[in-house]
Structure 1
Amino acid sequence: MAHVALTAQPRAEFGNGPSRRLRRQGLVPGVVYQSGGPSLALALPGHDLKRTLVEGRTSVIDLRIGDDSGRPVLVKDWQLHPTRGDVMHVDFQEVDLTQEITTPVALTLVGSAVGVRDGGVLDQPLREVEVSALPDRLPDEIEADVSALAVGDAMTVADLVAPEGVTIVSDPETVVASVVAPTAEVEESEEGEGAEGAAAEGGESAGE
């Protein structure tokens, strides 16, 4: 997988005031966590960072801070403004490209379930799975084909197929997706049974 390039500048001031000033300049404050070393404070161009997050948050980023030669990092976390959706802060984790890491990856359902065509409802209780792989092998997502699911069927983590070089480490018995009967039919059935019961009771009373 091709690396994404990002350039940042060192950040020496901390706190809410300096962070607000950076954001007014179109910059986003961030931190790089190094294995066995101190964390590095930085500021990045907001437009470039947002594009990187959209293109693939599991991609390896060649991050250059000031005049250094660059280092491979992954996005660890980020915070968004609650109304505008702007990136307010970002955390990176420096990685060793020769060492496998474990990280969450988005789970995407594909295909049209047979049970949905028969009137069922597709439920997806799991949105991410934990995978282990070399940083360059991390996928942007894991796909789950639900085409064969009928009403009452469920797919678990054990049914997922990982790309080459990737191991899914989430609990294999965790339900990924299922097709359930629509609740409206259940409620109508219960209401019908209640009406029939009332009619039967009424009939018995009249007979008495």
Structure 2
Amino acid sequence: MSEVRLAAEQRTEFGKGAARRTRRAGKIPAVLYGHGSDPKHLALPALEFARVVREHGQNAVLTLDIESSTELALTKTVTTHPIKNYIEHVDLLLVQRGEKVTVEVPIVLTGDAAAATLLTQDLTTVQVEADALNIPEQVEFSIAGLAAGTQVHASDLTLPAGTTLVTDGDAMVLAVNAAPTAAELDGDTGEATESEATEEG
């Protein structure tokens, strides 16, 4: 995952009113914390940050230009308005080059399982530990040709070099089951029809 550079401003006003003013100015209220340092209250450029999340995902690593200093930060939490869908607030975690971080990464399934099967996916993300500057954007798993009865656990996922699984390896990711036949799906209807025929007779 590539680093993205953003210019950030220190915030001196706090509270809901100040946050609204920050958003009206086209910026997003953010807090940068970690490594035992005092939290820094920042304002991020809204359009640029939204583009970063869209292109790099919510685990984006940012190089923040804050006045005369530069900080490396991992996007930890992005809070979005439930109705209007704009970013309300961002929590950023201070990181250092070479530091390992624990993040959640989406599981992306590719291919199609065998015919006449149904797929049940229990996990859509997996927790991993990776270098802060080499966080995988996703973990891919091919379900091509998987037969009914197949179960895939977290330990079956192939992770990029340097990435370690944190999620319990026994956790179920997905199961492939036999799809019900047309006769099984019509079974209830058939029984009802037979019952009705008996009553009519």
Specify if TM > 0.5.
yes
Matching residue of 1:74: 74
* Count of aligned positions: 198
- Check whether the contact 2:154–2:169 (CA below 8 A) recurs between aligned residues: yes
Please say if 1:101 is aligned against 2:83: no
Residue 143 of structure 2, aligned match among 133, 143, 146 = 146
User: Which letter maps to 2:117?
Assistant: G
Determine the C-alpha separation between the residues in 1 that align with 2:79 and 2:160.
29
Gaps of 5+ in 1: none
Q: Normalized per residue, which structure has more strand?
A: 2
Q: Which is greater in Rg?
A: 1
C-alpha displacement of 1:181: 3.7
Matching residue of 1:188: 186
Q: 1:37 to 1:162 in 2, by over 3 A?
A: same
Gaps of 5+ in 2: none
User: Which letter maps to 2:155?
Assistant: A
Matching residue of 2:45: 45
User: Which letter maps to 1:122?
Assistant: L
Matching residue of 2:152: 155
- Check whether the contact 1:149–1:178 (CA below 8 A) recurs between aligned residues: no
C-alpha displacement of 1:120: 2.4
- Check whether the contact 2:53–2:60 (CA below 8 A) recurs between aligned residues: no
Alignment RMSD: 2.3
- Check whether the contact 1:59–1:136 (CA below 8 A) recurs between aligned residues: no
CA offset digits 1:4-51 (Å, max 9, x no partner): 111110001111111111111111101001211111101111001101
C-alpha displacement of 1:123: 2.3
Please say if 1:62 is aligned against 2:63: yes
Matching residue of 1:89: 89
Determine the C-alpha separation between the residues in 2 that align with 1:120 and 1:59.
36
C-alpha displacement of 1:188: 2.6
Moved more, 103-112 or 144-153: 144-153
User: Which letter maps to 1:177?
Assistant: L
Determine the C-alpha separation between the residues in 1 that align with 2:86 and 2:196.
60
Q: 1:193 to 1:61 in 2, by over 3 A?
A: same
- Check whether the contact 2:28–2:90 (CA below 8 A) recurs between aligned residues: yes
Determine the C-alpha separation between the residues in 1 that align with 2:169 and 2:192.
41
User: Which letter maps to 1:188?
Assistant: D
C-alpha displacement of 1:148: 3.0
- Check whether the contact 2:59–2:76 (CA below 8 A) recurs between aligned residues: no
C-alpha displacement of 1:135: 0.8
